[in-house]
Amino acid sequence: MPAIRIQHGVSYRLDDIYRNTRDKWGDDQAEKYITGLFAAFDKIAAHGVVTKPIPVEFGVEGFFFRYERHFVYWRQLSNGDIGIVTILYQRMHQIERFQDDFQSADSAPD
């Protein structure tokens, strides 16, 4: 089974998601939401979440799926692992934000 690799920038987004959820809904809900995100990551390889290819007009290769109010963007790494490239809130300008994150991930080692 491939490993799940969290790209550097995603760790900051996860922290933000946790803090924002905690501030609005409390510690228990924040913990539940983050735990659910990681459970969804673990389901990618087994096709336990419905993923779609990123549209070609975005200019990057990869896939995405929705987890509650966020979109998770990922791709298969050269070693076969799964790289979580970015997580964006449903209202964020997705094209610009994830193109930046994909370019950053391209320069990071697998």
- The pLDDT assigned to 106 comes to 57
- The pLDDT assigned to 55 comes to 82
- The pLDDT assigned to 110 comes to 53
For the residues 21-28, what does the mean pLDDT come to?
97
Residue 56 has what DSSP assignment? G
- The pLDDT assigned to 57 comes to 77
Contact (Cβ atoms closer than 8 angstroms) between residue 32 and residue 55: no
Amino acid at 94: Q
- The pLDDT assigned to 104 comes to 62
Strand stretches in the chain, DSSP E: 4-6, 52-53, 63-67, 70-76, 82-89
Residue 57 has what DSSP assignment? G
Beta-sheet pairing, 63-67 with 70-76: antiparallel
pLDDT per residue over 25-46, tens digit each?
A: 999 999 999 999 999 999 998 9
90 pLDDT tier (thresholds 50, 70, 90)? confident
Contacts of 42 (CB under 8 A, 6+ apart): 4, 48
Contact (Cβ atoms closer than 8 angstroms) between residue 63 and residue 73: yes
- The pLDDT assigned to 36 comes to 97
Contact (Cβ atoms closer than 8 angstroms) between residue 98 and residue 85: yes
Contact (Cβ atoms closer than 8 angstroms) between residue 85 and residue 62: yes
pLDDT per residue over 40-80, tens digit each?
A: 999 998 999 999 998 887 788 999 999 999 999 999 999 99
